[in-house]
Structure 1
């Protein structure tokens, strides 16, 4: 009996020590900054007291203004996740609105600490900036109408040449659609708005757009849009930083990883629900799978 009591006491003591250690580890971000290289942006950001993020403002669900004129979206959520990790306060972040063409220049001139702006990772871009771990895998997907007899991918495939698909005009547009719907009739249009409008007017049976756009529209207007259940051509989205600062890159990678796969996931989970209509991913204990 004494052994059992002692065992319970030891377990409680270990739990208390673990809790105290966790509290101590998170109590002082500035103390942690002392461990970073003197020239690291991690030290600079902590000393400054706020994070500066370059992003956009016109592309839902990634970055856009809400009814109050505040920036929201999945990219904005990732910036707030970093601020929370840095200062235990997701409001300590300044968002610099920029065009897509300014993403790399603003990093390399130091105007922003990091760019989180649905930036597709590529070997060519990785020669100019340092990328974080991916936080999203984009792809082409099929937006359909819930009242259509071709609302599912299987129905579109079965329809053969009778399936009409709109897509933004580009050199690979036809081949992109034919990759999954080899017999479909492809309509190339000059803007993404017109691609969706063709679906609205029933000129096509499906619109080939970004997967995130499909999720966003289907969540907001379930009576008007549906997800056909097919996506392809994966592209990785990552945050971009200035090269040559491993401490900063490792911090960003670690913070993103904890939000997506670990225990500090409130902002991430709320964002994927709000903007994509998705349930939070299962965080399984035991051996990691990422």
Structure 2
């Protein structure tokens, strides 16, 4: 049923397969841009001790459809967390941010760019946050963090924040704090154009679907299969550390489809002309900046920055990075202007 082949006709950077190989090598070590070469000694002045990795039960009062409202109101005031960031000396006086380096148009290195700098929609937001807090948009130490390590990286104090297409959910709010939303998307299927799969429906019967570990896609598919909302015969055994790994499995014919955020899937489809999005998004999700649960002042500062960014900066970044893959009309992707900040402390 599954042809063991590498699809031909790739475009973009010489093919997604080449990009994936490049990224796999790059992910073997901690990413530090040339302008941010401070050593990672595990004691970069992060506020407070690391939190032991673990998964807590979600707040029973939280509903995922309203999870994006459970954040703190904006404030420009400095607190202990921001003070600790500003107190870093010399080359260590940087905002430490977990990002992706292999999501095309979101956070990636273009091999055709000789500077080797990270680029993308998420990266633009990081620079804006660094400029506000430290007065320098380039005062950033980027760390490449796999999908399944986003929460541990925050809890263990390895980063100040994660800006990495991370969906706000009640489950995650048990472990980390989120900013207000900065992007709207939804889960969607990616499959070969020739596939019998038509969408998130009965056509998934007897197929193998790949998801990233600790992703909202993995959680949703497992729940829906167990509840009978998709065929019981859907095989979900292929779970990988990073969502791009799923695209490589799809290209090799090892799986029949990928489920990931539609915004990311669209970028992947733009690189590989043999695959396409199948059906409409079947969830509504919001990306937020993730931070330590105790970093209230940092959460409030990021929310204040986002108020300004939505008014000046967001659209320009969308036009630069995402309009080619998601369309020039950004209406469906714009984050809602928060009417409420429901978290009090």
CA RMSD of aligned residues (A): 4.3
- Report the CA distance shift for 1:61/1:197 in structure 2 as closer, same or farther (over 3 A): same
More helix by share: 1
Taking structure 2 as the reference length, the TM-score comes to: 0.53
More strand by share: 1
Partner of 2:19: none
- CA shift, 1:77, in A, is 2.9
Matched, 1:118 2:173: no
- Report the CA distance shift for 1:145/1:124 in structure 2 as closer, same or farther (over 3 A): closer
Structure 1 stretches lacking a partner, 5+ long: 1-34
- Report the CA distance shift for 1:143/1:196 in structure 2 as closer, same or farther (over 3 A): farther
Map residues 1-290 of structure 1 onto 2, 5 A cutoff: 36-37=77-78, 39-46=79-86, 48=88, 50-60=94-104, 62-67=106-111, 68=114, 69-86=116-133, 89-99=136-146, 103-108=150-155, 110-146=157-193, 148=194, 153=199, 165-168=207-210, 173=221, 176=224, 186-188=234-236, 190-191=238-239, 193=245, 197=249, 204=256, 207-221=258-272, 223-259=273-309, 261-265=310-314, 266-273=316-323, 276-279=325-328, 281=330
Question: Considering only CA atoms, is the larger Rg found in Structure 1 or Structure 2?
Answer: 1
Counterpart-to-counterpart distance in 1, 2:207 and 2:139 = 44
Structure 2 stretches lacking a partner, 5+ long: 1-75, 212-217, 340-345
Give per-residue Cα distances to partners, 1:25-62, cap 9 Å, x unaligned: xxxxxxxxxx734x433344456563221234345554
Counterpart-to-counterpart distance in 1, 2:247 and 2:96 = 35
What SS does the aligned partner of 2:180 have?
coil
Counterpart-to-counterpart distance in 1, 2:204 and 2:85 = 56
Taking structure 1 as the reference length, the TM-score comes to: 0.61
- Report the CA distance shift for 1:125/1:176 in structure 2 as closer, same or farther (over 3 A): closer
- Report the CA distance shift for 1:225/1:103 in structure 2 as closer, same or farther (over 3 A): closer
Count of equivalent residues? 242
Q: Of the two structures, which has the highest relative contact order with CA contacts closer than 8 Å and spacing of 6 or more?
A: 2
